[in-house]
Amino acid sequence: MINFHILTLFPDLFEGFLKESILARAQKQGLVKINVCNLRDWGVGKHHQVDDSPYGGGTGMVLMMEPVDLAVKEITKDWIPKKNRKILLTPQGKIYNQKKAGDLAKYEDILLICGRYEGFDERIRGLVDEELSIGNYILNGGEVAAMAVVESVFRLVPRVLTKEEATRIETFHDGLLEYPQYTRPEDYYGKMVPSVLLSGNHAKIEKWRNEQAIKKTIEKRPDLLDGRED
Ligand code: ADE
Residue 138 Cα: closest atom of ligand 1: 3
**In 56-102, where do the E strands start and end?**
62-63, 84-95
**In 39-116, where do the E strands start and end?**
51-52, 62-63, 84-95, 109-114
Give the rounded percent of residues in the chain with a pLDDT score beyond 90: 87
**Centre of ligand 1 from the C-alpha of residue 138, in Å:** 6
**Centre of ligand 1 from the C-alpha of residue 89, in Å:** 6
Helix (H, G, I), strand (E, B) or coil at 10: coil
Please choose from 133, 136, 152 the residue to mutate so as to test ligand 1's pocket, defined by most ligand atoms within 8 A of CB.
Answer: 133
**Centre of ligand 1 from the C-alpha of residue 51, in Å:** 19
CATH number listed for the domain at residues 2-154: 3.40.1280.10
Which residue's alpha carbon is nearest to atom 2 within ligand 1? 139
Looking at domain 169-225, its CATH architecture is: Orthogonal Bundle (1.10)
196-229 per-position pLDDT tens digit: 999 999 999 999 999 999 999 999 999 988 765 5
134-163 per-position pLDDT tens digit: 999 999 999 999 999 999 999 999 999 998
Domain boundaries, the chain: 2-154, 169-225
60-89 per-position pLDDT tens digit: 999 999 999 999 999 999 998 889 999 999
